[in-house]
Structure 1
Amino acid sequence: MKDAADFLRANTAIAPAPLVPELRLHLATEITPIWQATEAWLEREGVAPPFWAFAWPGSVAVARMLLDRPELVRGKRVLDFAAGCGLAAIAAARAGAASVEAAEIDPLAVAAIRLNAELNGVEVVALAEDVVGTPCRWDRVIAGDVCYEAPMARRILPWLRGLAAAGAEVWLADPGRAYVPGEGLETLARVAVPVTRELEDRDVREVTVSRLLPP
């Protein structure tokens, strides 16, 4: 790939996420221009949506929770799964986690995580790989806004429940997506997150942060 960091700097602006003024991120304000710019930069059409360019409500809710209650991750090994821009991972690192990994399969998301972690002066290991199926090596696993498509939910939920059975505390942060499981969840918090109609069909999403129970 070309220099992803230069592309990100040129096509995003540094701004805080909603509810998280403590952290700054490289963000886009509209989805169509950044999507078109990504396709032009990669010189191909039909690329995945640029999820890395936005602070999605699930990650915002978890980040706010961790900054308000750092004892939840202090000294813990943390994974931010499908991390997007890395907001939840960065908040975990700021809250004092012993180690933080952020997993993404989109190379531009991996670049965004690294750039955003550097911007906030924290250490986050960006994993450029599909970690589904990986044996548990974490104490806390954050999965923000991951149940928006049926195939993805069917694939990841058994693995996440397996991590819970292996001893990790697995958090689902869901803003009302269609494929969140209807059972096997223990509610930890509810957070009203301001959102944009550029991405959502409303102005506020209520995010439920739940502990995913083992099978």
Structure 2
Amino acid sequence: MKRSGISRVDPASFIKANLPISPVLSIPEILLHTAGPASGLWRLAGRREADAPPYWAYPWAGGIVLARHLLDWPEMVAGRRVLDLGAGSGLVAIAAAKAGAATVMAVDVDANAIAAISLNATINDVTISAVAADILDAPPPEAADLLVVGDLFYDPSLALRVMTFLRLCQASGIEVLIGDPERAYLPHRELRRISTRAVTDFGAANSGGAVQAGVFSLS
């Protein structure tokens, strides 16, 4: 089947063939299928070559700092039910599972991300339930004790939706942890900083790829 002149491909087969497996910088205990310059992601995304690459194909600073935090402090997730919102590659979800979470669900709006999460969970020998959905207008999830969020504050309208949802989750008794390199729309006044770490970030080429990223809770 073709759409707008672009052939549709199977996401899992494409990822396995074109995104090599490599350890995450700062988190060598986690392996991910990660895109490179010749991956041709535009073909999988159903876009044109000049379009921006999909977020899920790269580890970003917020996810890296949050995943590292969970691995360093496994007591934060051990035995708990974790939901990774906007999970992308599944990096934070995988870290939660490795740190001893009872169950882990990864949610993302991009179906290709869900395929990547399933593959990445397999190569890291963890079990993750991956769901393609936009849950920001839904009630707080009943099957979660801890909500983890990496790199979702890059757009003003999305940031508002995310914070509204996180507040509802907090009010229902769900703990929230956020990882972010302090992008423009991170609501600092509503957060409490837990830790800061220098990590790599795909979008920080002008700074040599390194940024100061923080782990935050809701205040």
Q: Which runs of 5+ in 2 are unaligned?
A: 1-7
Classify the secondary structure of the residue corresponding to 1:183: helix
- The aligned residue for residue 108 of structure 2 is 104
Q: How many residue pairs align between the two structures?
A: 208
Quote the RMSD (CA, aligned, Å): 1.8
- The aligned residue for residue 42 of structure 2 is 39
* Cα distance in 2, alignment partners of residues 42 and 59 from structure 1: 21
Percent identity, aligned pairs only, is: 41
- The aligned residue for residue 212 of structure 1 is 218
Correspondences of 1:1-215 after superposition (within 5 Å): 2-30=9-37, 33-34=38-39, 37-41=40-44, 43-45=46-48, 49-136=53-140, 137=142, 138-196=144-202, 199-203=204-208, 204-213=210-219
Q: Is the 8 A contact 1:145 1:174 kept in 2?
A: yes
Classify the secondary structure of the residue corresponding to 2:83: strand
C-alpha change, 1:150 and 1:75, in structure 2 (3 Å) is same
Q: Is the 8 A contact 1:100 1:124 kept in 2?
A: yes
Q: Which runs of 5+ in 1 are unaligned?
A: none
Task: Give the structure-2-normalised TM-score.
Answer: 0.88
Task: Give the structure-1-normalised TM-score.
Answer: 0.90
Corresponding letter in the other structure for 2:112 = L
* Cα distance in 1, alignment partners of residues 125 and 17 from structure 2: 21
**Of 185-194 and 84-93, the range deviating more from structure 2:** 185-194
How far is the alpha carbon of 1:44 from its aligned partner?
4.2
Show CA shifts across 1:14-46 (max 9, x none): 10111100011100134xx44xx2333455438
C-alpha change, 1:17 and 1:2, in structure 2 (3 Å) is same
- The aligned residue for residue 4 of structure 2 is none
* Cα distance in 2, alignment partners of residues 134 and 118 from structure 1: 29
